[in-house]
Structure 1
Amino acid sequence: MTTTTQLPVDDIALSVRDLKTFFYTNKRCNKAVNGVSFEIRKGKTLCIVGESGCGKSVTASAIMQLLPTLSRIEEGEIIYHSERGDIRLDTLERNGKAMRSIRGSEIAMIFQDPMTALNPVFTIGFQIAENLRYHTALRGRQLMDKAIDLLRSMGIPAPERRVEQFPHQFSGGMRQRAMIAMAMACNPKILIADEPTTALDVTIQAQIFELMATLKREHGTAIMLITHDMGVVAELADDVAVMYMGNIVEAGTVDEVLRRPSHPYTRALLDSVPVLGRGKNQDIRAIPGSTPDPFNRPKGCQFADRCAYRLDACELALPAETQLSPTHRVRCVRHEEFANGVRS
């Protein structure tokens, strides 16, 4: 079982403990999330980083109870530390009244692709108002006035006109802002953002991230940001969890993970990102190989086949988690020498 840092409960918005989420298809089992533990602190941003297929979005869907039919939470706990007390989200019925009362009001999510997340046959204003209608006492014209105020707060020009338009009439950046407006309509305690700027240009990305920083600063919102971009992590994160094939291989504060990476996968992600100011001749290294078949996983460390520093022991069993500091943990048998500069 993995462990998480023991923080004061008052500082924690959400705790995930040894979460295992499996998918069942054609009599085969994909252990998409296989023993993940982390905590999201109030008013802070936790960035979960890793390649596609590492279990980041599945973790978010498990928290929101939005998993597909052929999947289930096998083990673990998802604890929402609400003002009413601790709530075990993993025990709630997916579409039950209790979960629906939390989803969208206290815990909200920004999806990766707003064009598929937004309903194309309803106006933007109607879709924002629908969330408000379910979770607040606003009715009638109050709903549309609130939707207009939300769009205005997201920097959308002429919100009185835009609120009556459909998703296809918005640009990509505006659709994403509308998604954030919908997510923030009820001032949630926790915001989960699943790669919210993947399809946007860098200028709009910066604007979206500035909006999220403002929400955290003004409302004390705890943010879980899913990304594959270590540059975004360096800019926004307070805490970082590096995921690979359903496991967190390294986690800690942003300074610990970026300044003293102790897992070869973390270092590989950092080496694959160009650094501003180093010029066009800087060494940018692609990570060799590809992620293993999720239905035929290696017995030991999931990264071993792609790792230049592996030992025979790496292929025999999944490395145990080592606590490097009160906030920094890693799964690697060579973590100590690797952190101190070993490269062979």
Structure 2
Amino acid sequence: MAQNHDVALTVNGLKTFMYTNKRCNKAVNGVSFQIKKGKTLCIVGESGCGKSVTASAVMQLLPTLSRIEEGEIIYHADRGDIRIDQLPRNGRQMRAIRGAEMAMIFQDPMTALNPVYTVGFQIIENLKYHTALKGRLLRDKAIDLLRSMGIPLPERRVDEFPHRYSGGMRQRAMIAMAMACNPKILIADEPTTALDVTIQAQIFELMDRLKKEHGTAIMLITHDMGAVAELADDVAVMYMGNIVEAGNVDEVLRNPVHPYTRALLASIPVLGRGRNQDIQAIPGSTPDPFDRPTGCQFAPRCAFASDVCAAMPDETFVTDTHRVMCWRYEEFAHAAAQ
């Protein structure tokens, strides 16, 4: 995969396997992508397709019984390239990068915050480790971060424990903690899951401002195709540990050439068409990760599957920036062009 000075993170052929009861789940099985400075890469797909595992691998936050088997994770820092995949998970260098230069907004705010420490203490802990702020300035910064997230009475809330926060407020506190040091790479794993639509818009606006003002590279994991259309510069569609289609947002959303991408778009209701619109659910469900089909992983659910799908398709470039893993992609590309 080509690299240039505009790229903040490069992932090449990443394979992340998880082991349990003498069985192996190939959760991420050969994923490659780049996140560019000042751009947003949206990763979409159904639950269980490897999106969050990919994010955890990039941050070196994988569970104990899992490991990176193959591939490269390269952070293009100002001081030179750093192979994240070769760093010890809890080593000094990885701890210095994690939270300051690379930050992550976790999906579940109910368990991400430590219940025995105040929210302010947990935000200040990050600032104390990664910034030069001291004393009262640390508390003032924590209050400003909570205020920027729309949390009412931040001067009081900063001293409260997580159980005093609602689910939406906990998520906003997590986002404040992640954005505290203006990271160069921000990984957001469904950051607005527990928030109402008004706060969702505020969070997305804040992330967009961070991207524009600080050149932050953002990796956004989401199920919301509306958010993808609004925020994404590039899109990667994941299914069962593989990126089955990727490209810039116009290529993927306007000219999808993989049946899974087309099925995802067909399953979304369109505002203004009323309750009688034809919403086509994707048949079946994702297969058991310990009992995967041979060949194309989507074939058992695909209306266009044929005998050739018994073998795993190679990755093919439709254009210089649009790639797909499908034996029959040319038929969809030709249909879209007509």
Which TM-score tier does this pair reach, normalised by the shorter chain?
A: over 0.9
Is the Cα contact below 8 Å between 1:45 and 1:237 reproduced in 2? yes
SS of the aligned residue for 1:255 comes to helix
SS of the aligned residue for 2:335 comes to coil
Query: Hey, what's the Cα distance between the residues in 2 that align with 1:234 and 1:171?
Result: 29
Whether 1:335 aligns to 2:329 is yes
What letter corresponds to residue 71 of structure 1 in structure 2? S
Query: Hey, what's the Cα distance between the residues in 2 that align with 1:263 and 1:279?
Result: 27
Instruction: Give the corresponding residue for 1:173.
Output: 168
Is the Cα contact below 8 Å between 2:171 and 2:194 reproduced in 1? no
SS of the aligned residue for 1:164 comes to coil
Unpaired stretches in structure 2, ≥5 consecutive residues: none
| Matches for 1:238-277 after TM superposition, within 5 Å | 238-277=233-272
Instruction: Give the corresponding residue for 1:232.
Output: 227
Instruction: Give the corresponding residue for 2:42.
Output: 47
Instruction: Give the corresponding residue for 2:317.
Output: 323
Deviation at 1:279, TM superposition (A): 1.9
Is the Cα contact below 8 Å between 1:231 and 1:273 reproduced in 2? no
Instruction: Give the corresponding residue for 1:185.
Output: 180
Deviation at 1:157, TM superposition (A): 2.6
What letter corresponds to residue 242 of structure 1 in structure 2? V
Identity of aligned residues (%): 80
Deviation at 1:200, TM superposition (A): 2.4
Unpaired stretches in structure 1, ≥5 consecutive residues: none
Q: 1:211 aligns with which of 189, 206, 215?
A: 206
Whether 1:77 aligns to 2:72 is yes
Query: Hey, what's the Cα distance between the residues in 2 that align with 1:269 and 1:158?
Result: 41
SS of the aligned residue for 2:186 comes to strand
What letter corresponds to residue 286 of structure 1 in structure 2? A
What letter corresponds to residue 5 of structure 2 in structure 1? D
Query: Hey, what's the Cα distance between the residues in 1 that align with 2:96 and 2:120?
Result: 21
Deviation at 1:217, TM superposition (A): 1.9
Query: Hey, what's the Cα distance between the residues in 2 that align with 1:214 and 1:22?
Result: 36
Query: Hey, what's the Cα distance between the residues in 2 that align with 1:47 and 1:65?
Result: 20
Q: 1:293 aligns with which of 280, 288, 294?
A: 288
Query: Hey, what's the Cα distance between the residues in 1 that align with 2:203 and 2:179?
Result: 13
Whether 1:144 aligns to 2:149 is no
Is the Cα contact below 8 Å between 2:15 and 2:69 reproduced in 1? yes
Deviation at 1:234, TM superposition (A): 1.1
Query: Hey, what's the Cα distance between the residues in 2 that align with 1:155 and 1:313?
Result: 53
TM-score (norm 2): 0.97
Instruction: Give the corresponding residue for 1:24.
Output: 19
Q: 1:157 aligns with which of 152, 161, 169?
A: 152
Deviation at 1:111, TM superposition (A): 0.3
Moved more, 148-157 or 27-36: 148-157
Is the Cα contact below 8 Å between 2:124 and 2:139 reproduced in 1? yes
Deviation at 1:150, TM superposition (A): 1.4
Query: Hey, what's the Cα distance between the residues in 2 that align with 1:207 and 1:172?
Result: 16
Query: Hey, what's the Cα distance between the residues in 1 that align with 2:219 and 2:304?
Result: 31
TM-score (norm 1): 0.95
Residues 186-229 of structure 1: CA deviation (Å, up to 9, x unaligned): 11000000011122232322222122112212222111001122
Query: Hey, what's the Cα distance between the residues in 2 that align with 1:285 and 1:198?
Result: 24
Is the Cα contact below 8 Å between 1:42 and 1:222 reproduced in 2? yes
SS of the aligned residue for 1:270 comes to helix
Query: Hey, what's the Cα distance between the residues in 2 that align with 1:115 and 1:142?
Result: 28
Q: How many residues align?
A: 336
Is the Cα contact below 8 Å between 1:152 and 1:159 reproduced in 2? yes
Whether 1:58 aligns to 2:53 is yes
Is the Cα contact below 8 Å between 2:36 and 2:217 reproduced in 1? yes
SS of the aligned residue for 1:32 comes to strand
Deviation at 1:155, TM superposition (A): 2.6
Deviation at 1:183, TM superposition (A): 0.5
Query: Hey, what's the Cα distance between the residues in 1 that align with 2:207 and 2:164?
Result: 24
Deviation at 1:35, TM superposition (A): 0.1
